């Protein structure tokens, strides 16, 4: 496996190196955004869930850990609570657009690398009078590695985008429920 990979890299062109480097960077960014945002959202959701539970319990007090409480400064103003909700959701969704961009562009970057690899293979074959399938097939399969890499990156980016989007939705539900309770209590 390693020998095959080293042979592939040894026979690759500059475009292939650029495509694979860009896709590697995309993959690193994807994982970094996911782990960072997932950890932050998990903590935020946990705090808001506890805050909602304390508001709906017999205590009926607002948790000091709640980001909505910190933002609104214990105010029950509908406008201020709404503005705080929007601000918290905006902060929670920071970086998620990059996951969408990466998931939609990485297959095209991989496809570009494949097309260039196939064109280079055909250019090498142009000088030969007869080329057998046994010569063409390995060259095309090597070119397809870039598409596979692009699809792999897209799978992770899209999956992480969906997970983070769901967590943001869950956070939004908790924030809206807390706001409605606070507004109702006046």
| Other beta carbons less than 10 A from residue 127's beta carbon | 7
What is the DSSP code (8-state) at residue 63? -
Please answer whether residues 30 and 152 qualify as being in contact, where contact means their C-beta atoms are separated by less than 8 angstroms.
no
pLDDT for the residue 127: 79
> pLDDT per position in the chain (186 positions), as tens?
677 667 766 766 788 888 889 999 999 999 999 999 999 999 999 999 988 888 887 766 777 778 888 888 777 788 888 988 999 999 999 989 999 999 999 999 999 988 988 888 888 777 777 777 777 777 787 788 889 999 999 999 999 999 999 999 999 999 999 888 888 877
CA–CA separation, 91 and 34 (whole Å) = 15
pLDDT single digits (tens) 29-48 = 999 999 999 999 999 999 99
Q: What is the pTM of this model?
A: 0.84
Question: CB under 8 Å to 84, separation ≥6 — which residues?
Answer: 68, 71, 72, 175
Rg of the Cα atoms in the chain: 25
Nearest to 93 by CA among 171, 180, 25: 171
Q: Please report the DSSP string for 101-149 in residue order.
A: HHHHHHHHHHHHHHHHHHHHHHHHHTT-S---HHHHHHHHHHHHHHHHH
CA-based torsion, 113, 115, 119, 122: positive or negative: positive
pLDDT for the residue 36: 95
| Other beta carbons less than 10 A from residue 1's beta carbon | 5
Nearest to 182 by CA among 96, 107, 91, 73: 73
């Amino acid at each position: 496996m390693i020998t095959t990979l080293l042979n592939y890299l040894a026979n690759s062109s500059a475009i292939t190196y650029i495509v694979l480097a860009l896709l590697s960077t995309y993959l690193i960014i994807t994982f970094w955004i996911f782990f960072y945002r997932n950890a932050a959202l998990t903590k935020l959701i946990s705090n808001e869930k506890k805050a909602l539970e304390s508001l709906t319990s017999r205590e009926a007090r607002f948790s000091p850990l709640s980001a909505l409480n910190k933002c609104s400064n214990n105010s029950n103003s509908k406008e201020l609570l709404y503005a705080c909700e929007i601000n918290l959701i905006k902060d929670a969704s920071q970086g998620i657009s990059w996951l969408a961009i990466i998931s939609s562009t990485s297959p095209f970057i991989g496809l570009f690398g494949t097309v260039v690899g196939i064109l280079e293979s055909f250019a090498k074959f142009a000088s030969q009078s007869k080329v057998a399938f046994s010569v063409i097939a390995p060259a095309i399969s090597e070119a397809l590695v870039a598409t596979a890499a692009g699809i792999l990156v897209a799978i992770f980016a899209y999956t992480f985008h969906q997970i983070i989007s769901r967590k943001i939705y869950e956070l939004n539900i908790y924030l809206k429920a807390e706001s409605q309770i606070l507004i109702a209590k006046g």
